[in-house]
Structures are given as C-alpha cells and as structure tokens.
Amino acid sequence: MPINLLPQLLIIDYLEQTTLDQLAALGTEVIYLPTATQSEIWSHLPQTNVLILNSKVRVDRALAAAAPHLQLVIRAGVGMDHIEVSYLEKKGITVKNTIGANADAVAEQTIGMLLTMRHHLLRADAQVRDFQWVREPNRGHELTQKTVGIIGYGHTGSAVAKRLQGFDCRVIAYDKYTSGFANNHIEEVDLAQIFEESDVLSLHIPLTDETFGWVNDVFISRFKKPIYLLNLARGPIVSLPDLLKSLDSGKVISAALDVLPNEKLDQLTTEEQLIYEELFARENVMLSPHIGGWTFGSRENIGKMIVGHVENWIASF
C-alpha cells in the first residue's frame, strides 16, 4: 500500500449506506462507483488496495497487473468463477467471498419453487385470472414420502435440507468434497444413489471446469425415475438444449431455474435466443432472474461479512 495514505477501497457494485459508513469508520478511503464503466474502473485500479465487487468485471491477470497495490479482493456473494483465485493468491493477494450470507434466502426460494412446481400454482393462478376454474388438471403432488436429492451440501444445500424436515419426505445428499454430515434428517449417499432414488434433484454446487455442462443428456438419463429439477446454483451447470430434450422425453417433469448460462438477455447470440424462446414458452419451466439470494436479509449479512473481512485485513498489518 502507498506509504502514509489511507487504504483505498474500490467498490464497483451496490452496497448499503450503512456498510459504506462502517468501512469508512475503519480508517479507509472508500471509492464507491456502483455504476462505473469498465474504463472508469480501470482508471482507479493503480491506487486500489481493496477491490469489492459482485460480478461486474473479471478479476484476472490483466486486472491484477493494472492494480500493483491490490492486496484484498472481496466478492459480495458466493460464486467466484469470474475470479482467478489461485493466480491472485500466488501473487500474495487475499481473496474472500461472503459464503453463507445468502444461504437461507436461496434455501427459502428453493422450497418455494419446488412447491409451486409440484402444485401447478403458476398455471392455476394464470387460469383463474383468465376466468377459468380448472381443478383436475391442476391436481398437485405432495412431497410426503418422496425422496429429495441434493447435490452440494455446503451452506445452501444444508439450509435446503433443514427446511425440508417438516415435509415428511426423505432427504438424501451427495457432496464430492464433504463427508460425515448425515444426521436424523439427512442421509449422506453416493452419486449412484442420487440417480437411483431421487424424485427431486436440487443443485447447490459451484461452477467449475468439472461442473460446467455437467447436467446434460448423459447425466439426466442416469435417473431411474422422472424428476423435478431445480438449479439455483449457476446457469452453465445445466445444458439447456439437453434439458429441453429431457422435458420432451418426460425424464424431467418440470424444471425451476433461478440462473441461466447467459443472464444478459439483451446480449444473446442467435443460438441462445432460439433456445431461450423455446425454454420460456414451456409451461413446465419456472424462471426467476437470479434472485434466490437477493433478499434484504442477505444484503445485510453480506455487508457485515465485507466489513469483517476488511477489518481483519487491516488488523493483519
């Protein structure tokens, strides 16, 4: 950090004013540019000690080279697929996220979307608004005595499992990197059991080279029973063309997607536009604009964790 200067924090996404005030109270210079263009962000990097962002830019080698005094990067969220973590850490730059801050929010939306799918609530609501009183085609499916499979048993996956306890359903979970989490309400299983026994599949895993396009034709074909599929993790984990095929075949009964591979709907390729139009036209697909973790409570939690990360960084000197 430049000598005799306050640590400079560059914040390029929206934060609460209370969070900004708390950061300033730590003895920092807060540069708050939530609407900054790429060139404006780049112009501030040479003086930046701490970069706080959501997902506005890729934090890669080029950005690190433009920020010679950068010591701390904080992701105001969980996923860090747009941050070259290993490279930054090799350069001595600490990388933090706010893992767990929005787990409860995502878990609540997961349950809401699951119940809405299984009870046809979107269709029923639309029909009543159209003065159609249709009951039998909207007969629902209870969760009782069904098996919900969770892939990814971190903060969010475990929060989903906790909320399923009152539904008298069986909950099984698989996590490649975590074990020993079974209790009276959750069974720890291998991936083969997920395929064999699940009626519902809920994804709560990060986007990595391994999980990119993982949920495809081959993956879905391994399920013994038709499933309800929920993705509130990262869009590129699910192959949309393969999902459409699975919806056509009945292997996927219904899908709930809070995320999409390309969430910039005004910047779709021609191929993406055609796929999205087909997906959006389907009555058995539920969509939301990546808002699972986008709640007032999660925003407050994220702010507290950001302040804690900066406070710990300052205390390390």
Amino acid at 54: N
pTM, to two decimals: 0.92
Residue 185 is a catalytic residue: no
* pLDDT 10s digits, 265-304: 999 999 999 999 999 999 999 999 999 999 999 999 999 9
Q: Tell whether 196 and 218 lie within a shared domain.
A: yes
Contacts of 20 (CB under 8 A, 6+ apart): 11, 30, 32
Q: Which residues pair with 230 in a beta bridge?
A: 202, 256
The single residue of 29, 163, 290, 311 carrying the catalytic annotation is 290
- State how far the Cα of 75 lies from the Cα of 96, in Å rounded to an integer: 6
Cα–Cα distances in angstroms (integers) from residue 8 to residues 45, 52, 61, 122, 256, in the given order: 10, 11, 20, 48, 41
Average pLDDT over residues 35-57: 96
* pLDDT 10s digits, 196-210: 999 999 999 999 999
Which of 162, 52, 64 is CA-nearest to residue 106?
162
Q: Is 181 exposed, middle or buried (0-12, 13-18, 19+ CB in 10 A)?
A: middle
Average pLDDT over residues 81-106: 97
Q: Tell whether 281 and 194 lie within a shared domain.
A: yes
Residue 120 is a catalytic residue: no
Residue 282 is a catalytic residue: no
Q: Tell whether 83 and 146 lie within a shared domain.
A: no
Q: Tell whether 220 and 304 lie within a shared domain.
A: no
Q: Provide the 3-class DSSP secondary structure of residue 116.
A: helix
Q: Tell whether 93 and 108 lie within a shared domain.
A: no
The single residue of 118, 120, 204, 234 carrying the catalytic annotation is 234
Q: What is the 8-class DSSP label of residue 12?
A: -
Q: Is residue 268 part of a domain?
A: yes
Q: Is residue 2 part of a domain?
A: no
Q: Is residue 86 over pLDDT 50?
A: yes
When divided into structural domains, the chain yields a total of 2
Q: Tell whether 147 and 275 lie within a shared domain.
A: yes
The single residue of 89, 263, 277, 283 carrying the catalytic annotation is 263
168 in Cβ contact with 148 (< 8 Å): no
Q: Is residue 196 part of a domain?
A: yes
Domain that holds residue 64: 8-101+297-315
Q: Tell whether 258 and 109 lie within a shared domain.
A: yes
Q: Is residue 292 part of a domain?
A: no
Q: Is residue 3 part of a domain?
A: no
